[in-house]
Amino acid sequence: MFEETVTVITGGANGIGQALVKGFAAQKSAVAFIDQDQAAGEKLKHELEAEGKTVYFHQGDISRPEVLKKFVEKIVERFGKVSFVLNNTMKSNHGILSDCSYEEFVESFKIGVAAPYELTRLVLPYLDQDAVIVNISSSRAYQSQQDTESYSAAKGGITALSHSLMMSLKGKARVNAIFPGWIDTGETYDKDYKPDYTRADSGQHPSERVGKPEDIVEAAFFLCDPKNSFVNGAELFVDGGMSKQMIYADDEGWSYQQQER
């Protein structure tokens, strides 16, 4: 499907990022990914190389511009071009109820907003024909639970970054965003992981199940496929319909419990 392409993925060692690395490698794209988790990154690289896949792993912290610069230099040295960029890495430092500090709040923005911008800026001269940027946002860019300010605000930031980059990069790359809801990534950390969902966990979703990393992979495939070149600036929600539910007390089994303040 993606022969002769080069896919760049941040946060590729675990979670959704790991599934993206495996998915694009399975579609015959050469994959370059970065992650701070060296052990998990090296393990994934070796597994995929044993299957005959073309993979490059770079260990590092994407909040540091010099790390991104070196990562891109290695990509260009090895592959000479970039076809797809999947900005996936994020770190939550919780929020105001946890006394998230100024420095912690800014750190979330460095990782979740500034790094995707800088990576896109650095690869710009090397973008392939039909290049695509896919930013992994979140349904939390529009909805929140308590104590999620650092994460939700950063996801709001990458959402705005996506449509602004889309306008700036017209003629050079399409830019779209994926908004995951509850995606259970347990299997990417533990091969023996067995989910244990309650009926409410699954049933609260209009799709009547919890999301899987592969759901995000399939969305990324769709957005990167050149056959879908008219899809640009899209916000693709992959959340089982949760963000479209209107919830009132005693409606469809929902109940409200007053919290003490």
The residues annotated as belonging to the active site are 151
203: which 2 tokens? 């049933």
Cα separation of 59 and 104, whole Å? 22
In the beta sheet, which residues pair with residue 53?
none
CA proximity to 38, closest of 65, 21, 59: 59
Whether the CB-CB separation of 13 and 22 falls below 8 Å is answered with: no
Q: Which residues contact 134 (CB under 8 A, 6 or more apart)?
A: 84, 85, 86, 87, 175, 176, 177, 178, 220, 223, 224
* Cα 24 from Cα 88, distance rounded (Å): 14
